[in-house]
Structure 1
Amino acid sequence: MDAVAAAETVMIDVRPKRVRVVAWVAAVAILAVFAAVATALTGSIGEGNAVFRPGDQAAMIGLGVCGALAALAFGRPRVWGTERGIRVRNVFATYELPWNVVRAIRFDHGHPWAQLELQDDDTVSVLAIQAVDKEHALVAVRGLRSLHAAHATAPASTPDSRS
């Protein structure tokens, strides 16, 4: 978070629970598989057609590290709620929105994660609040909704250009 947002009091700070555990387990498994393959790559295969050298083994471990980091990216989502607005960090994107542009915080039955419904009819997925986290997710949504109700104001009207 930047210095201005860090100076603000964060009232809600939510990260997914199960997805982070799965991401760490997957990262360790990916790294272990690639390390095992790297140690198995020795000598030559067949009639000298393929020869594996230490550089090939290092490359396999490097690919394992890249795969593990990719798996860990799915544990990255987080949402912060403050008096001024909400900050949503998903796997690849981060959104900072003031409360007055958020129309509603939705967590519909059957949907895998919460969503912010914006005043311009757009939506922003909140991957930090996952349905698989059950009660943890419900508490987070209720907290964000109460923050939204307490701090949202009507959106600023824009002059109509057709007048």
Structure 2
Amino acid sequence: MTSPRWDLVYRPRKLPRWAIIAAVIVMAIHITFGLLLTVEDVGVRNLGGSDQVAIILIGVLVSGAILLLTRPRLRVGAEGVEVRNLVPVRLFGWDQVLGLTYPEKGYGAWLLFPSDEHITVLAVQGNDGPRAVEAMARFRELEERYRGTVRPAN
């Protein structure tokens, strides 16, 4: 039996919940207004069924965009660190990564690279509390195992 590819798979807990709630509310508002829009003369032109459908479809698009916030994930393994924020999935080898830190003022953790570069890791957020702290600690354990060095915690 082979070992799993990833030693740490972390997804935020609160962000997807809030995103689903927001998407449902946006969809409900657009459906309600789309159905309440009556076909009558409103001044400049008559509104028709296509306008009702358009309002509902705009709600579908906006809700779909909001639901992208359910996707963030951090995976760590021997190959390196894989970050999925909203759409792209990017894998960084251990030779590229300097560490993971949580900035004093920020929304998500930062994956650090040489030359003071970083990307935000939306999966690790302060509002997840102890779970996020545990994920940071586990990341540092794996970093020490695979890189042999750990950057000091900020």
2:13 is matched with which residue?
17
Query: In 2, distance between residues paired with 1:90 and 1:28?
Result: 21
1:99 aligned counterpart, secondary structure? coil
Q: Please give the secondary structure, in 2, of the residue aligned with 1:9.
A: coil
Letter in 2 for 1:104: G
Match of 1:51, SS state, is coil
Most deviating of 91-100 and 136-145: 91-100
**TM-score under structure 2 normalisation?**
0.86
| Consecutive unaligned residues in structure 2, runs of 5 or more | 150-154
Runs of 4 or more above 4 Å deviation: none
Kindly name which structure, 1 or 2, has the bigger radius of gyration based on alpha carbons. Answer: 1
Aligned twin of 1:3: none
Are the structure 2 counterparts of residues 36 and 100 from structure 1 closer, same or farther at C-alpha, using a change threshold of 3 Å?
A: same
| Aligned counterparts of 1:72 and 1:111: Cα–Cα separation in 2 | 21
For structure 1, which runs of at least 5 residues remain unmatched after alignment? 1-6, 155-163
Aligned to 1:59: 54
Query: What SS does the aligned partner of 1:71 have?
Result: helix
What is the root-mean-square deviation in Å for CA atoms of aligned residues?
A: 1.9
Aligned to 2:35: 39
- SS of structure 1 residue aligned to 2:86: coil
Q: Secondary structure at the match of 1:105?
A: strand
Q: What are the equivalent positions in structure 2 for 1:58-137 lying under 5 Å apart?
A: 58-137=53-132
The structural deviation recorded for 1:39 is 0.7
Q: How many residues align?
A: 147
Structure with greater strand share of residues: 1
